[in-house]
Amino acid sequence: MSDTPPASPDSPGFDEMTRDIAEVPAVEVIVTVAVNLMSAAAVKLGLTEEGDKYKDLDEARKLVTALAGLLDASVTEISSFHASPLRDGLKSLQLAFREASLVPDEPGQGPGEKYTGPIYG
């Protein structure tokens, strides 16, 4: 854990951080969050160099579902230019989840499929 206390409205850096985030377009924030969810899901699916070391399908399911919900809610706001590669990444994660599962979910029951529809391998 860090010895650095969290920023508070009274700390000198708080106003600077607020000003910095205020200058970031919403599309960039949404895409950044989506990419972070994708990266975390890939780790939990064991798709990184470390392989199974951090594999946790329960955690991966939560991350993939959160990503699907974010994309479903924001797709009309971020344009197809940004949404298309994120959707492709989401589908890849959903397929990887299906492959990694010992007992695969029925089509339409996998992580995020309530937002994307059934994913077939």
Tens of pLDDT, residue by residue over 8-31, are: 556 557 777 777 888 999 999 999
Q: Given pLDDT bands bounded at 50, 70 and 90, which one contains residue 90?
A: very high
Q: Quote the pLDDT of residue 104.
A: 86
Distances (CA, A) of 74 to 15, 56, 110, 119: 28, 27, 21, 20
Give the global pTM.
Answer: 0.83
77 touches 26 (CB < 8 A): yes
CA 43, 45, 48, 53 dihedral sign is positive
Q: Quote the pLDDT of residue 22.
A: 86
71 touches 117 (CB < 8 A): no
